[in-house]
Structure 1
Amino acid sequence: MKKIEMLNKMQKKGIMETAVLAGITVFIFTLILLTIQSATGHKSWLLSSALSLLALVIIFMFIEKSRLKNHEKFVH
């Protein structure tokens, strides 16, 4: 019973960590894109939003992969 409670706590903590990391990543990536756009003078919002979404998906994949590895180590 205690093992299940521990796993639930770890999962909730992992979700919060993922959300915080994603928020920080979006903020930094947006700053980088805005800097590039102001330096080049291009206002291509479609391209920048597509790039930021792609970066988010890649980062989420890495975070989830590492969380699953840690979860499997704890369970087995």
Structure 2
Amino acid sequence: MLAQNLQNLETIGLNLLFAGIFFFIGMAIRDVLNQGNVPKFGRYVVWTVLFLGCAGFIAKGIIQMSWEGSGLG
């Protein structure tokens, strides 16, 4: 297998791993919020913070791909 193909496979696998981790974190937070009888405002704050963390991770990936594509990284 070529080194480039192996690197692409590792990148895809790592991104899928992180997506799975974010999914399980979201499910755990949902369970805790339901069992703790958290008010709606608190739920909105928690989900907003979780979403911003995921969005930051996705933005980092897009920026990294664009820099590597232009030869900066």
> Is TM (by shorter chain) over 0.5?
yes
Residues 1:27 and 2:22 aligned together? no
Give the ranges of 4+ consecutive aligned residues of structure 1 lying more than 6 Å apart after TM superposition. Answer: 59-62
> Partner amino acid for 2:40?
W
> Partner amino acid for 2:23?
G
Unaligned residue ranges in structure 2 (runs of 5+): 61-73
> Partner amino acid for 1:20?
G
Q: Identity over aligned residues, as a percent?
A: 9
More helix as a share of residues: 1
Aligned length: 59
Offset at residue 2 of structure 1 (A): 1.6
Instruction: Tell which has more relative contact order, 1 or 2 (C-alpha 8 A, sep 6+).
Output: 1
**Are 1:33 and 1:48, in contact at CA under 8 Å, matched by a contact in 2?**
yes
Unaligned residue ranges in structure 1 (runs of 5+): 65-76
* Normalised TM-score (structure 2): 0.59
> Partner amino acid for 2:8?
N
